[in-house]
């Protein structure tokens, strides 16, 4: 056979191989995707909460998508403390006003952004939250101030349905 000549057989070889590879890949996807959150898990994606029983300085923890969500009715002192922080001092700079739609209500996922533990409230060096697992300190706006966590506590999507009810998710 002459050197490097593309024959009909080469063509059949490559196309057959390509079809087999594409077929295998598309068949592999269901085996991978079956592990992703299923329909029943996604169906639990929103929660409504009545805020009336919570007085200033009190927090509640609700479950949303299997995760704890902290809802804290902040005191004026906490709000002031969160507002006066210099953004340049923050590892993950965010304004308090971007984190709380209504400054009185702080709603955030109660999961440390380091490795997923639940931080303890009103503890730590910044009067906010403290994660006992690896020592991350969050402030009164749930922003990371000290420790290994890379980002601030996550703010879930939520809306105030009316003055006293919010819907998370």
Binding footprint of other proteins on the chain (CB under 8 A): 32, 35-38, 41, 61, 63, 65-68, 111, 114-118, 131-135, 148-150
Which C-beta is closer to other proteins: that of 33 or that of 50? 33
CA angle 75, 81, 85 (to 5 degrees): 150
Residue 159 Cβ, how far from other proteins at the closest point, in Å?
19
Cβ atoms 112, 106 nearer than 8 A: no
What are 131's two structure tokens?
Answer: 């994660």
Residue 18: enclosing H or E segment and its boundaries? helix 8-33
Q: Which of 92, 114, 134, 137 is catalytic?
A: 134
Q: What's the rounded Cα separation, in Å, for the pair 145 and 11?
A: 62
Q: Is 134 considered catalytic here?
A: yes
Residue 24 Cβ, how far from other proteins at the closest point, in Å?
20
Residue 1 Cβ, how far from other proteins at the closest point, in Å?
39
Residue 99: enclosing H or E segment and its boundaries? helix 96-99
CA angle 106, 112, 118 (to 5 degrees): 85
Which C-beta is closer to other proteins: that of 79 or that of 111? 111
Which C-beta is closer to other proteins: that of 65 or that of 73? 65
Active-site residues, by number, are: 134
């Amino acid at each position: 056979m002459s050197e490097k000549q593309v024959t009909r057989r080469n063509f059949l070889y490559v196309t057959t191989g390509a079809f087999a590879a594409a077929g295998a890949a598309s068949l592999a996807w269901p085996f991978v995707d079956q592990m992703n959150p299923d329909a029943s898990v996604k169906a639990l994606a929103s929660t409504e909460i009545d805020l009336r029983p919570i007085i200033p300085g009190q927090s509640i923890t609700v479950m949303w998508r299997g995760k704890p969500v902290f809802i804290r009715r902040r005191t004026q002192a906490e709000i002031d403390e969160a507002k006066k922080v210099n953004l340049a001092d923050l590892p993950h700079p965010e304004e308090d006003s971007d984190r709380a739609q209504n400054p009185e209500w702080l709603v955030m996922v109660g999961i440390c952004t380091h490795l997923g533990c639940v931080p303890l409230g009103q503890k730590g060096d910044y009067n906010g939250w403290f994660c006992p697992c690896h020592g991350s300190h969050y402030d009164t706006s749930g922003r990371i101030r000290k420790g290994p966590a890379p980002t601030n506590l996550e703010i879930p999507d939520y809306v105030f349905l009316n003055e006293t009810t919010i819907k998370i998710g």
